[in-house]
Structures are given as C-alpha cells and as structure tokens.
Amino acid sequence: MSDEAETTRQKPGEGSVPPEVPVYAFIKRELKNQIENGELTEGDRIPSEAELARQYGVSRNPTRQALRDLEFEGYIVRTPGRGSFVAPMAERQRLFRVGEWRTLAIACPEMECRYSRAVISGFIRSAAEKGFHTMVYFARLSNDAEFEFLADMRNSGIEGVAFWLQHASQRTLDLLNKFHRVGFPFVLIDRYVRGLDADFVVTDNVDAAYQLTNRLIARGHREIGFVTGEMDNTSNADRLKGYRRAIEEAGLGFHERSLGIFDGEGESTHAAVARIMAQRRRPTAFFSVNDGAAAKLVDSLGALGYAIPGEVELALIDDNAFAEAAGIPMIKASQAGYEMGRESAEILMARATGQAIPLQQRFLKAKIEDECLESASAQDRMDDVRVGNS
C-alpha cells in the first residue's frame, strides 16, 4: 500500500485522517499530544510500529517514520529489544527558541483590519518589554485546520498563544480543555466561549452596543434596525444583546422583523434591507455590528434611494475608519485593540513564568464618538421622516 493511499485510512473511532496530512505526520502528532497533555508520562511505553500499524489500519512504513521523528525531536527513547518510552521533558527540542528569547505566538484571521493590527502591535510591544520573542500568524482556518494549527502550536516549543477562535467545534474545545488541564498558556482575544474556563481579553460588546443604541434613541429615533454578519461568535451575539437591552429599556419593543443577518445563506443583503425598509413603521436608524456590515447597509440604502444621514442615521462598531472613508457622519465605537494586545501578552507571560494568577476574563470598554450632523436642516429632515412614520 502506498503512503498516498494511506493518507485516507481511518483510525478506529476517530474518523478519517485529514487528506492533506500524511499518515505518519498524523500519528506523530497524536502521540505528541498524548505526551504533552500528560496522557503518556515520562517512562511510559509507546506502542510499537506493529501495534500502531494495527491501531491505525496502515502498513508499518508511516508508523516507523512517526517514531523516528519523535525520537529525533527528543520525545521518545528507543531501546533495541525493549521498545520505545517517553523521554524526559528536558530532552525535547524547543523549536522556536531564538537565542535567549522565549517565544509566544499570536494568530488572527486577517492582517488588513486596522483593529487586528493594533492588537498585534500591543502584543508584540508588551512581549518584547519582558524579553519574549513573538511569532505572528495570519490565517483564515477551517474547522479541521484550526484544530491542526492549535495542536501544532502546543507541540512546537511556543510557550503560549493568543488567538481569535474562528470555530468553536467540539473537537477544538476538547483540545483547549486539555491545554487548560496541563497548564499550556493560551488567551482568547476578541471573542470568548461561554462555559469554557479560559483566559480571554475581549471588548465589552454588550456595553458598546447598548451605548450606541442609546445614542440613537437620545436623538429621537423610535424604530432602529439591526444588521450583522453571521451570528456564530460571542462578539456579534453580545452586540445584539446590548442593542436589545437598550431598545427594551426605552420601552420601544424588540422586533425580529427589524433584524438583517447577512450570512450568505439566507436572503441577500439588499433583500434584507429592502424587507426591513418596506415596513409601515420603517427604521429611521440602524445599528451595525461592524463596518463590513455597515458598508453593505450603506450601499443597499443608497440603492433604495435613502439619504444618509438625512433620512437614516447609523451607529456602528468601526474598526477600519469606515465612517471617515465613507464621508458620512455616524455614531461609532472603536475597540481598544492596542490594550487588548498588551493585556493578552501580559496574561500569557504570567502563565509562562509560573505566576499563580486567577482566571483572567477581561472586558475592555470601547470608545464612543458621535459624528452625526447637528445642523438644523439635517435635524428638520429627520423630524419629517419621524412624522411620516408615526
């Protein structure tokens, strides 16, 4: 059987080996994880080439290569006639050690966003001040690829990692729970997972959305729409929660018909905005969870013939200076990206140096700025719209 064919063989109860991962690499990583997570401890016997071949349903070629690599990297000791055993931790390679610098990693899904660049800048600066080197990764990852990436981080010699969790799959959450049990430092940034005992540093998104929506209410709006991308993370979910709280506290009533979710699977952006604006009591303002959704909203409102801010005012979480680039006065909130980066690095370094600190779950306040037009003519146009909707 060829190695290529063996990349799709199955391990009993585990499903398919990812097609992009050679079988030997998959077996090697699984054994590494068991050693790193304490399932196999110093001196424990490792299954033989033949035993691993039977377990994974493959020939001995990939299992032999996996054990050779683990021996080369100092994870196991192989003794002729006796077998393979877990080596002392001190013998393992530290692949990302640079001179006397210790190494942390930070990973985010994109580098184009001004907010994510601010997070990374704060992280690097804080780490460097304490003598830590930083590895930076930019990658949008599938469910499987995210698991593979985090498993590789654990085995690489990195002393801790901060990252945007892109997919909260059960497999990845199980891995993070293992990290937590064995003391491998990690910090979630930008978003967290409810019920997961993990350090995180995120924006107080409930408060940011609450403050922005209240600004719109204070300006006289009684019908306020809400637009978002996929509701697959706590950032967007918490922003909806803050919007809804402000609406209900003002006695305006929360209506799902005023929600537009641009998830690419249901109605199109334009169809969602057209549906919302076709209501008898149509919105005179919108809250947008981010500037990406706001850009789509502005395009759709323009295509429908609505003037901004003359007929519709906007409030948004603005991470890329969209309001400034669009030349449209808006009420906006900017996230504290630099502080988020610094604080996540500080937590990682405290964990990596063995400091006994409690679980760190930090919510940072966003900065609210109101750029809406205050001219009498603009206010008169808004008053006319509100009268027409009453």
One-letter amino acid of 274: A
Q: How many CB atoms lie within 10 A of CB 154?
A: 21
**What does the angle CA 78 – CA 95 – CA 196 come to, to the nearest 5 degrees?**
95
Question: Averaged over 76-103, what is the pLDDT?
Answer: 72
Under DSSP, the state recorded for 75 is S
As to burial, measured by CB atoms within 10 angstroms (0-12 exposed, 13-18 middle, 19+ buried), residue 37 is middle
Quote the tokens at residue 238: 């918490």
The predicted model scores a pTM of: 0.75
What is the structure's pLDDT at 39? 87
Residue 304's nearest CA partner among 328, 279, 329 is 279
**What does the angle CA 274 – CA 278 – CA 281 come to, to the nearest 5 degrees?**
135
Question: Averaged over 340-363, what is the pLDDT?
Answer: 96
Checking if the pLDDT of 12 tops 70, the result is: no
d(CA 140, CA 151): 16
Residue 296's nearest CA partner among 333, 334, 331, 267 is 267
d(CA 188, CA 178): 15
d(CA 102, CA 42): 24
Q: Token match 């021996």: residue? A: 71
Domain boundaries in the chain? 3-91, 102-202+338-364, 205-335+369-389
Where do runs of H (alpha helix) occur along 219-336? 234-249, 269-277, 291-303, 322-326
One-letter amino acid of 377: S
d(CA 192, CA 200): 6
Question: For the segment 147-172, what is each residue's pLDDT rounded down to a tens digit?
Answer: 888 988 877 778 899 999 999 899 99
What is the structure's pLDDT at 92? 63
Checking if the pLDDT of 265 tops 80, the result is: no
Superfamily of the domain at 102-202+338-364: Response regulator (3.40.50.2300)
Which carries the bigger pLDDT value, residue 232 or residue 294? Answer: 294
What is the structure's pLDDT at 155? 72
The segment with the largest mean pLDDT, out of 18-22, 79-83, 108-112, 214-218, is 214-218
Same fold: 3-91 with 102-202+338-364: no
Contacts 24+ apart (CB under 8 A), 15-24: 18/144, 18/148, 21/148, 22/62, 23/56, 23/58, 23/62, 24/61, 24/62, 24/63, 24/65, 24/66, 24/69
**3-91 architecture in CATH?**
Orthogonal Bundle (1.10)
**205-335+369-389 architecture in CATH?**
3-Layer(aba) Sandwich (3.40)
What is the structure's pLDDT at 15? 38
